Amino acid sequence: MSIDPKPAVVLLSGGLDSTTTLAIARAEGFEPLALTFAYGQRQKVELDAAQAVARAQSVSIHKVVTIDLGTFGGSALTADIPVPKDRPPASAAVPVTYVPARNTIFLAYALAWAEVTGAFDIFLGVNAVDYSGYPDCRPEFVAAFERLANLATAAATTGRGRFVIHAPLLALSKAEIIKRGVALGVDYGLTRSCYDPQGDLACGHCDACALRHAGFVAAGLVDPTRYVTPPKGQR
Amino acid sequence: MSIDPKPAVVLLSGGLDSTTTLAIARAEGFEPLALTFAYGQRQKVELDAAQAVARAQSVSIHKVVTIDLGTFGGSALTADIPVPKDRPPASAAVPVTYVPARNTIFLAYALAWAEVTGAFDIFLGVNAVDYSGYPDCRPEFVAAFERLANLATAAATTGRGRFVIHAPLLALSKAEIIKRGVALGVDYGLTRSCYDPQGDLACGHCDACALRHAGFVAAGLVDPTRYVTPPKGQR
């Protein structure tokens, strides 16, 4: 742990991946500034989870920014489109839970906050192994945003520093992510991943529940999630 | 004019440049979808100007999205920092009117709306000749965003099309922009450029007033702007 940790903006949804990413940022010696979006998503329990996670990990500044992606619609997470259930795991298509340009918008805000606070590091919990097939979760997207950040900002173009977009989960399986988090002391009971929760219960049948549950099973750990009906497969 | 014009998202601030860009998008055969941001800017008359311009150019859909860039601060346009007046024109530094990551955020939203509406063209009125020195107004920024857009979205990565970021003013002088707009029938009396307006009057001394007024003078045209005190130089 460095004596004078560098600030880093960490995108925190309250889900399993971003919560693990927050713990990794801290473990790598950064002082995390957590950024959460109330973006019109149907899974509002995410926001409570993000608050609980930020408290549990002693985040000194946690900003929740309200942005209305519902104004554009086009996704099952922000419009009146059903969340798909029990999808075949190897489906190649981008599912309707994809939110157009979501990670581009989130990273753009993170970049703004980073520049204002003097941070040059941004952490993002995207993962391209056990994921829903969203294009803005792939390494080439992350690399392209990093390149953009270093052309877009006064901080980078006047030589004060160089932005780095950290995506430490990119190449990890869900089981590896969970094992990493557990080793860092993450309490996954605080996190929420479900795309279509019923109150405080996860649906158990959307892509996010399926991936999450399979991850705990593969890691040989107990899944602390409370489901309406548990996901298929080993329990 | 094509019989079935393609939609294009046009970022419209209500200023001289974006208004000209809107007219160019139409002249190039696109059906413009105008996107304006209420982003906590001090120059709120911009928003009225954007509405007036959209009406004058018969825009069928004009969306005004409220986003709070003031939550981050860091700019004379969104925080309690004075707008610089009568700056030397050749000043190399990025001025305090720079809003961190503003065009990155605006383009990210434009990309979201484009993807939802099926548009693959986005118009942006940035200019790197007679401009305030903002890094996110340069051609390399525009090119980097276009590259990102084609990696970030389902529309592009599933082969439905390729996003193009149009910045038709990039290499034009302010006088050339004005002449182009006048030829297309733009009423510049509806537009507002000032960073620090007093009611409906432009201050006459910020970078935006200075560039705008010099552009009309160089174009040999009457500047329709009403100033508190007119900019220095020829009138």
Kindly report, residue by residue over A76-124, the tens digit of the pLDDT: 777 777 888 887 755 557 888 888 999 999 999 999 999 999 999 999 9
- What torsion, rounded to 10 degrees, do the Cα atoms B71, B76, B81, B84 define? 180
At residue B209, the 3 state secondary structure works out as helix
Confidence (pLDDT) at B235 = 46
DSSP string of A171-189, one letter each residue:
T--HHHHHHHHHHTT--GG
Determine whether the interchain pair B72/A100 forms a contact, defined as Cβ–Cβ distance below 8 Å. Answer: no
Which residue in chain B has the smallest CA separation from A74?
Answer: B116
Q: Is A161 on the interface with B (CB under 8 A)?
A: no
Structure tokens at A194: 């479900």
Pairwise CA distance, residues B49 & B190, whole Å: 6
- CA of A145: how far to CAs of A79, A141, B152, in Å? 27, 6, 9
Best probe of the B interface among A64, A65, A72, A147, by most B CBs < 10 A, is A72
Q: Which CATH number fits domain B6-186: 2.40.10.10, 3.40.50.720, 3.40.50.620, 3.40.50.10070?
A: 3.40.50.620
Averages of pLDDT over runs of 10 residues in chain B (235 residues) are 79 96 98 93 85 97 90 78 75 80 96 96 92 90 98 93 97 96 97 91 92 95 94 64
Over residues A10-17, the mean pLDDT reads 96
Predicted confidence at residue B80, as pLDDT, reads 77
Question: Residue B100 and residue A112: Cβ atoms within 8 Å?
Answer: yes
Q: Confidence band (pLDDT; 50, 70, 90) for A2? A: very low
**Tokens in use for B142?**
């525009």
Q: What is the pLDDT of residue B1?
A: 45
The confidence score (pLDDT) of residue A90 equals 52
Domain map (residue ranges) of chain A: 6-219
Interface of B with A in 102-131 (CB under 8 A): 102-105, 107-109, 111-113, 115-116
When computed from its CA atoms, the radius of gyration of chain A, rounded to whole angstroms, is 17
Predicted local confidence at residue B2, as pLDDT = 45
Cβ–Cβ gap A151/B158 under 8 Å? no
Please enumerate in sequence order all residues whose Cβ is within 8 A of that of A152, keeping only pairs 6 or more positions apart, or say none: A111, B101, B103, B104, B135, B136, B141, B144
Side chain identity at residue B54, one-letter code: A
Contact yes or no for B109 and A105 at CB 8 A: yes
What was the pLDDT predicted at A81?
77
Distance between CA atoms of residues B70 and B136, nearest Å: 18
Predicted local confidence at residue A96, as pLDDT: 85
Say if residues B195 and B208 touch (Cβ distance below 8 Å): yes
The pLDDT value recorded for residue A154 is 93
Give me the pLDDT at residue A184, please: 98
pLDDT in tens, A140-185: 999 999 999 999 999 999 989 999 999 999 999 999 999 999 999 9
Confidence (pLDDT) at A3: 54
Q: Does B56 touch chain A (CB under 8 A)?
A: no
* A71/B64 Cα distance (integer angstroms): 10
Q: Is B156 on the interface with A (CB under 8 A)?
A: yes
Q: What is the pLDDT of residue A27?
A: 97
Does residue A189 contact residue A215 with C-beta atoms inside 8 Å? no
pLDDT of residue A103: 95
Class of the A6-219 domain?
alpha beta
Supply the pLDDT for residue B233. Answer: 61
pLDDT of residue B93: 76
Give the chain A residue nearest B147 (alpha carbons).
A144
CB contact under 8 A, A138 and B156: no
> Is A148 an interface residue toward B (CB < 8 Å)?
yes
* Closest CB from A69, A155, A158 relative to B112: A69
Contact A65 B68 (CB under 8 A): yes
* 3-state secondary structure string across B73-95: CCCCCCCCCCCCCCCCCCCCCCC
**pTM for the structure as a whole:** 0.92
Comparing C-alpha atoms, which of A197, A185, A189, A199 is closest to residue A223? A189
Q: What is the pLDDT at residue B71?
A: 82
Give strand ranges (E) for B18-137: 30-38, 61-66, 121-123
